[in-house]
Amino acid sequence: MKKIAIIGGGAAGLAAAIAAGNELARLGAADECEIVLFEADPERVGRSILATGNGRCNFSNAHIDPACYRNADFVEAALRSLARLSEVSEWGSVQPVGAYGASAQGRAQPAGAFEAPVQRFFSDLGLMWREEGEGRMYPAANKASSVLDVLRAGAAAAQVRFAFGRTLSRIDAPTRAKGLLHLRFSDGSIEHADAVVVCVGGRAVSGVDFPAGIHVEPTRPVLGPLATDSRITRQLNNIRVKCAVSLERSGSLVAREEGELLFRDYGVSGVCVFNLSRLACEGDVLSIDFLPHMPAAERDAWLFARRKHLSARLGENGQITAENVLRGAMLPQVAQVLCKCAGIDPARPLSKKDVLALSRVIGGLCLTVRGIGDAKQCQVSRGGLSVAAFDSQTMEAVCASGLFAAGEALDVDAPCGGYNLHWAWSSGLLAGVSAARSVVSADGEGEGE
C-alpha cells in the first residue's frame, strides 16, 4: 500500500487531502494508496479555520488579482496551473450552482480562471456562500464552522485518515531514486511516505528541518496592528475613524489604504493598517488623512467657509474657535488632538494661519512606525519556504521529488479580503492532485524502503 502524508490539517492540508483522495479515485487507484493527515493538534483538524473572519470565515474573494500576493509571479503561475487542472479533474466538474452574490442582479458574476477552481471545489462539497463588499465571500450560514463541516465530510468521503497529536519535526529525502520520504515526529516516531504535502502554516514552518536545497526564509508576523509613537494615539484609544492612511518611507509613498482605523494606546489597528503592516518597517511614517475625499485646496476652502459662516452667525461677540469650526465634522476628542498637533489652542479664536495649519494636520497626521503592535493579532506570517525551491505547476520541491508544499508554509501572503485562504485552498488543491498523480505514475520501485 502506498502512502500520501499530508502534514497539517488547516485550510491547505484539508484541501490537499480531499483533492488527493478524489484524484486517486478518478485514476482508479483509491485502493492502492492511503492518505494520512498528520495534525499537531491532539484532537481536531481545522481549528485555525474557525477563528477566521471573526468566526464567519471570509474564505475567498470574487476578484482574485495575483498581483496582490507576495511572490506574485509564482502565485499567478500556480493559479493558472490549477485552473487548467480543474478543467479535467472530477472535483472541478461541478458548477458553482450554490453561489449567490451581491451583484446588481442579485446573483454572483461568473467566476474567472483564478477564482473558479476554489468555487467549484466548495460547490462540489455543498457549501453555499454570499458575496459581500469588495468581493469578500462568506459561507451563507455566516459561520466558519459550516466551512469546516463540509471539509470534514469531504475528507471522510475521500477516505482520509487523521492522525492527531503528531508534530512533524524533520523530513529527509529518499536516499535513492523513487525511494520513500522519511518523516520524523517530535515524539521520536518515524513514518515513511511516497509523497508528502507540507501544510504546517506560517508560524510552524521554521520548526521543521527540510532536506538540503529547501530554504526557509525567516518568518515574522504581519497583517496586524502597528505600534507607533503613542503620545498621540493613547489620547484617542478605542476611537474609530474612516480615513485614508499613506505609508511613507524617506518621503516617498510606499502604499495607501482607505478604510476604518482604530486608535489604540500603543498605535493603530483596523483593516487598512493590517494591510499596510505587510510592507511597513520601523521608522516609516503613517500619514492619516481624516477627510480623504477632499483635496487640500478644497479642505482649506471648506475651513475658511466654516469660519466665515460662524462669524456671520455668532456676530462680533462670538468666538470662532477650532472646536466650533470642526464641530459635526469629527468627534470632539479627535478635533482636540488635531488642534494640539497643529499647535492651536482649540478654545482660542482661529487665525488665518491657524486654519492653514489645521488643514494640513487634518490631511496628514503623521505617526512614526515602531513595528508590529501585537503579534498575537497578526493574521499571517511573512516568510517561510522559499518559492524558488518549488515548481509552481505542481507545488513539488525541485530538489526532492515527492515533497510538496502548500498554504502559508510557503513564502506567500496577501492583504485582508479572503486572499490568504484562497491561496491556502488553491495551493492545497494543486499540491494534493499533483501528489496523487506522482504516486500513481511512480512504478513502486522504492516500496518497502
Binding flag, residue 219, ligand FAD (CB under 6 A): no
Report the residue from 421, 429, 433, 436 that binds ligand FAD according to the rule CB under 6 A.
421
Sign of the CA dihedral with 347 first, then 352, 354, and 358 last: positive
User: In the block, which residue shows the cell 509552481?
Assistant: 392
Site stretch for ligand FAD (CB under 6 A), options 27-35, 52-60, 95-103, 214-222: 52-60
Phi-psi sector, 421: left (phi>0), alpha (psi -120 to 50), beta: alpha
Q: How far apart are CA 397 and CA 215, in angstroms?
A: 11
Nearer to ligand FAD, 44 or 242 (CB): 44
In the DSSP assignment, the letter for residue 351 is P
Binding flag, residue 222, ligand FAD (CB under 6 A): no
Nearer to ligand FAD, 13 or 346 (CB): 13
Q: φ and ψ at 149, to 5 degrees?
A: -55, -50
Site stretch for ligand FAD (CB under 6 A), options 23-31, 197-205, 271-279, 433-441: 197-205
**Burial zone of 42 (CB within 10 Å; 0-12 exposed, 13-18 middle, 19+ buried):** exposed
Binding flag, residue 429, ligand FAD (CB under 6 A): no
Binding flag, residue 407, ligand FAD (CB under 6 A): yes
Footprint (CB under 6 A) of ligand FAD, residues 147-186: 167-168
C-alpha cell, 350: 482661529
Phi-psi sector, 307: left (phi>0), alpha (psi -120 to 50), beta: alpha
Report the residue from 5, 6, 7, 180 that binds ligand FAD according to the rule CB under 6 A.
7
Vertex 150: Cα angle to 418 and 415 (nearest 5): 10
Kindly report the number of other CB atoms within 10 A of residue 67's CB atom: 10
Binding flag, residue 402, ligand FAD (CB under 6 A): no
Site stretch for ligand FAD (CB under 6 A), options 37-45, 355-363, 388-396, 430-438: 37-45
| Minimum CB distance to ligand FAD, residue 400 (Å) | 17
Nearer to ligand FAD, 247 or 380 (CB): 380
| Minimum CB distance to ligand FAD, residue 305 (Å) | 43
Binding flag, residue 199, ligand FAD (CB under 6 A): yes
Nearer to ligand FAD, 418 or 432 (CB): 418
Site stretch for ligand FAD (CB under 6 A), options 2-10, 108-116, 297-305, 324-332: 2-10
> How far is residue 357 from each of residues 297, 319, 342, 351, 424, measured CA to CA in Å?
13, 19, 6, 10, 47
CB 379 within 8 A of CB 274: yes
User: In the block, which residue shows the cell 467549484?
Assistant: 120
Footprint (CB under 6 A) of ligand FAD, residues 378-397: 379-380
Sign of the CA dihedral with 53 first, then 128, 99, and 24 last: positive
Report the residue from 4, 5, 12, 338 that binds ligand FAD according to the rule CB under 6 A.
12
Report the residue from 40, 62, 214, 216 that binds ligand FAD according to the rule CB under 6 A.
40
Helices (H), ranges, 71-212: 72-88, 116-125, 144-157, 201-204
Binding flag, residue 415, ligand FAD (CB under 6 A): no
Binding flag, residue 420, ligand FAD (CB under 6 A): yes
Report the residue from 39, 191, 257, 354 that binds ligand FAD according to the rule CB under 6 A.
39
| Minimum CB distance to ligand FAD, residue 150 (Å) | 16
Nearer to ligand FAD, 74 or 290 (CB): 74
Binding flag, residue 408, ligand FAD (CB under 6 A): yes
User: In the block, which residue shows the cell 478644497?
Assistant: 298
Binding flag, residue 38, ligand FAD (CB under 6 A): yes
Q: How far apart are CA 342 and CA 336, in angstroms?
A: 10
CB 294 within 8 A of CB 312: no
| Minimum CB distance to ligand FAD, residue 56 (Å) | 7
Q: How far apart are CA 434 and CA 78, in angstroms?
A: 12
Kindly report the number of other CB atoms within 10 A of residue 227's CB atom: 19
| Minimum CB distance to ligand FAD, residue 423 (Å) | 7
Binding flag, residue 432, ligand FAD (CB under 6 A): no
Nearer to ligand FAD, 373 or 418 (CB): 418
Q: φ and ψ at 138, to 5 degrees?
A: -125, 150
Site stretch for ligand FAD (CB under 6 A), options 93-101, 284-292, 366-374, 416-424: 416-424
C-alpha cell, 92: 472541478
| Minimum CB distance to ligand FAD, residue 409 (Å) | 6
Vertex 23: Cα angle to 73 and 430 (nearest 5): 10
CB 22 within 8 A of CB 90: yes
Q: Given the rule CB under 6 A, which residues bind ligand FAD?
A: 7-13, 38-41, 47-48, 51-53, 57-58, 167-168, 199-201, 204, 208, 379-380, 407-409, 418-421, 424
